């Protein structure tokens, strides 16, 4: 697979630099010609959500839409994709941050649940326990 950094995905989502967007499209084509997809690691996903929210001021619905669009594009693969899908659902329907939802899902897929936290919002997620 063709692993990509956060800034590559930002160009693909935000489309604020035509030259860089064209470079991303060429990379996608090159990868597709070799039967590969762009690979997004969990750490890149976490940074991507943070950049979209903090730098580009996207709200939760816009961030979720952008991430889901990437996931359904057919040419992007995510590390632990099923866990990421579950984490997006947890993020959407709770007051928790995406990072907390991903942490909880990663604990679950590694048979290490519950995730213990002092964060009350995170403790609203399935598989998360508030530490007192």
Same domain, 27 and 52: yes
Same domain, 64 and 101: no
Q: Is 119 one of the annotated binding-site residues?
A: no
Weakly modelled stretches of the chain, pLDDT under 50: none
Query: In the prediction, which pLDDT does 91 show?
Result: 96
Alpha-carbon distances, residue 126 vs 41, 43, 45, 81, 118 (angstroms): 23, 21, 21, 18, 15
Q: Into how many domains does the chain fold?
A: 2
pLDDT tens readout for residues 77-90 = 999 999 999 999 99
Same domain, 74 and 31: yes
Same domain, 66 and 126: no
Q: Is 100 one of the annotated binding-site residues?
A: yes
pTM: 0.90
Query: In the prediction, which pLDDT does 1 show?
Result: 66
């Amino acid at each position: 697979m063709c692993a990509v950094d956060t800034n590559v995905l930002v160009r693909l989502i935000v489309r604020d630099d035509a030259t860089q967007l064209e470079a991303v499209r060429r990379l996608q084509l090159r990868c597709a010609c070799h039967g590969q997809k762009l690979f997004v690691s969990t750490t890149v996903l976490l940074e991507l959500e943070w950049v979209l929210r903090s730098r580009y001021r996207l709200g939760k619905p816009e961030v979720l839409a952008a991430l889901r669009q990437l996931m359904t594009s057919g040419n992007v693969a995510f590390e632990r994709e099923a866990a990421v899908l579950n984490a997006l659902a947890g993020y959407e329907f709770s007051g928790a941050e995406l990072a907390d939802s991903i942490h909880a899902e990663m604990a679950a897929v590694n048979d290490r649940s519950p995730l213990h936290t002092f964060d009350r919002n995170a403790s609203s997620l399935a598989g998360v326990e508030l530490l007192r």
